[in-house]
Amino acid sequence: MASAFEYAPAPESRSVVDIAPSYGLFIDGEFVEAAEGKVFKTVSPSTEEVLSEVAQAGAEDVDRAVRAARKAFEKWSALPGSERAKYLFRIARIVQERSRELAVLETLDNGKPIRETRDADLPLVAAHFFYYAGWADKLDHAGFGADPRPLGVAGQVIPWNFPLLMLAWKIAPALATGNTVVLKPAETTPLSALFFADICRQAGLPKGVVNILPGYGDAGAALTAHPDVNKVAFTGSTAVGKEIARTVAGTSKKLTLELGGKGANIVFDDAPIDQAVEGIVTGIFFNQGQVCCAGSRLLVQESVQDELLDALKRRLSTLRLGDPLDKNTDIGAINSAEQLARITTLAERGEAEGAERWSPACELPSAGYWFAPTLFTNVTQAHTIARDEIFGPVLSVLTFRTPDEAVAKANNTQYGLSAGIWTEKGSRILAVANKLRAGVVWSNTFNKFDPTSPFGGYKESGFGREGGRHGLEAYLDV
């Protein structure tokens, strides 16, 4: 589609963020080198530019951090809730004050568009701290009985797709309930967590209450297996989640897991097509589809398939892929070469198994990791791309004839995290939503998040909830 006007570049300035050439681990309120002296580089996925060199935590560092968190726990858990609340309110405010800086940083380190970090990630991060700050002195009223107690030291391992938001989801409820934390950010996106350490310093948070350990899977494994960790929270792949569940078996560690998904976005024949198209686009291309609750399976009622696909293809042709710092960019870079390879392999498999592949005309930048928005039609339930989580901007389109068939197909997955329903008929929304085995159901909308709204999965998408009143339970001795 040729447009009458070309877009001029509209880059967000990088000058708002000052990235140091190297960072340490954040243990007991200090930045320190790793015990073994190891470091790793973190690159910007859109340019492959090295952003910084970061200390790499090992088992010894994990032990040091857990000891610091244990030491801090005594005083932190004994603080009146109203005092803990004020620390969290301070953190929320400082996040707001520094949100542009953090948004640019997140875009540089993760590759997602500035439009998302600025308008989605950062506002939600601040909102999460605000929400849980208010719970800290109201836990008696949370529905878990009188005087619920914290668990102790929480070991938290988070993924690279929403680095700072996942940190907020983990740290805010943990601190509000009186726990102390050791958090390991993902190896490809350590920077915003390290900036968060600086926010803790500015907020005057007592030493050892929050410890940040950049590192790889081995550090995460050491953390979840550490005998003095009382609570493990993990967001990431289902395979690693199962490994962690085996690790904590037979211990008293409380475990919550937020894992993969293969969300079905169900479009009925009476759906508002334009809104549905927007919802489908949001569902699968938000954050390049690197979202556990992405609507990666489109289930469309047969009678409107052609109309919907035409509209969807038209819309995809207008998406702008490129520099994530450009304020007009819709689709940014894939987070890593490894992830790009995984997406590429699965998409090739989709073609090899006979599904029909389509992408809009789309020029990919020469440097960095990119994948064009991609649709697969003629997909059946047996296809790999209909079953495996791709975690990229790849949508598999299946059809159905009756509501029952839509529900059966939507539920035909080992996952159960999210689903979408598009129809003008209210009773149909409620009937279908009732039957879907998914933790979050978006009707006539998609990918909406809020700190008051619990999020989490059924089946192999994990257990426990994050956000809302329900999100407190994971960090309380109840």
Partner 1 sequence: MSERLSVFKTYKLYVGGKFPRSESGRVYEVTDSKGKWLANAPQSSRKDARDAVVAARKAFGGWSGATAYNRGQVLYRVAEMLEGRRDQFVREVADAEGLSKSKAAAVVDATVDRWVWYAGWTDKIAQVVGGANPVAGPYFNLSSPEPTGVVAVVAPQESSFLGLVSVLAPVIATGNTAVVVASEKAALPALSLGEVLATSDVPGGVVNVLSGRTAEIAAPLAAHQDVNAIDLAGADEVLAKELEIAAADNLKRVLRPQPVDYFETPGTERLTAFLETKTVWHPTGSLGASGSSY
**Residue nearer to partner 1 on the CB measure, 104 or 267:** 267
Angle made by CA atoms 265, 292, 444, in degrees to the nearest 5: 30
Residue 282 CB-half CA count within 13 A: 18
3-state secondary structure of 256: strand
Tell me how far, at minimum, the Cβ of 140 lies from partner 1, in Å.
15
Token couple for 297: 């399976």
Regarding 259 and contact with partner 1 (CB under 8 A), the answer is yes
**Residue nearer to partner 1 on the CB measure, 207 or 435:** 435
Tell me how far, at minimum, the Cβ of 411 lies from partner 1, in Å.
11
Q: Which region among 13-21, 79-87, 397-405, 458-466 touches partner 1 (by CB under 8 A)?
A: 458-466
What is the spatial distance between Cα 393 and Cα 410, in angstroms, rounded to a whole number?
19
Tell me how far, at minimum, the Cβ of 221 lies from partner 1, in Å.
15
Closest CA to 188 of 371, 325, 339, 58: 339
73, 462, 472, 474: which one binds partner 1 (CB under 8 A)? 462
What is the spatial distance between Cα 452 and Cα 471, in angstroms, rounded to a whole number?
9
- Span 123-142, contacts to partner 1 by CB under 8 A: 127
Tell me how far, at minimum, the Cβ of 291 lies from partner 1, in Å.
16
Regarding 460 and contact with partner 1 (CB under 8 A), the answer is yes
Token couple for 172: 């805010």
Token couple for 381: 């339930």
Tell me how far, at minimum, the Cβ of 161 lies from partner 1, in Å.
20
- Span 210-239, contacts to partner 1 by CB under 8 A: 238
Tell me how far, at minimum, the Cβ of 9 lies from partner 1, in Å.
31
**Residue nearer to partner 1 on the CB measure, 193 or 276:** 276
Q: Which region among 95-103, 225-233, 398-406, 467-475 touches partner 1 (by CB under 8 A)?
A: 467-475
> Beta strand pairing status for 297-301 and 394-400?
parallel
Tell me how far, at minimum, the Cβ of 455 lies from partner 1, in Å.
7
Tell me how far, at minimum, the Cβ of 410 lies from partner 1, in Å.
13
What is the spatial distance between Cα 135 and Cα 148, in angstroms, rounded to a whole number?
12
Helices (H), 79-162: 81-97, 99-110, 114-116, 122-135
Regarding 241 and contact with partner 1 (CB under 8 A), the answer is yes
70, 86, 93, 242: which one binds partner 1 (CB under 8 A)? 242
- Span 369-428, contacts to partner 1 by CB under 8 A: 414
Q: Which of 12, 106, 187, 258 is catalytic?
A: 258
- Span 141-160, contacts to partner 1 by CB under 8 A: 143, 145
**Residue nearer to partner 1 on the CB measure, 343 or 429:** 429
DSSP 161-215: SSHHHHHHHHHHHHHHTT-EEEEE--TT--HHHHHHHHHHHHTTPPTTSEEE---
3-state secondary structure of 251: coil
Torsion sign over Cα 237, 243, 249, 254: negative
Torsion sign over Cα 236, 237, 238, 239: negative
For residue 200, indicate whether it is catalytic: no
3-state secondary structure of 413: coil
**Residue nearer to partner 1 on the CB measure, 180 or 256:** 256
**Residue nearer to partner 1 on the CB measure, 362 or 433:** 433
Which helix (H) or strand (E) is 376 found in, with range?
strand 374-377
x-marked contacts with partner 1 along 418-457 as a string, rule CB under 8 A: -----------x---x--x-xxxxxxxx--x-x-xxxxx-
Longest dimension (CA), the chain: 65
What is the spatial distance between Cα 70 and Cα 231, in angstroms, rounded to a whole number?
12
Regarding 360 and contact with partner 1 (CB under 8 A), the answer is no
Chain positions contacting partner 1, by CB under 8 A:
127, 143, 145, 238, 241-243, 245-246, 249-250, 252, 257, 259, 414, 429, 433, 436, 438-445, 448, 450, 452-456, 458-460, 462-463, 465, 468-470, 478
Catalytic residues: 258, 292
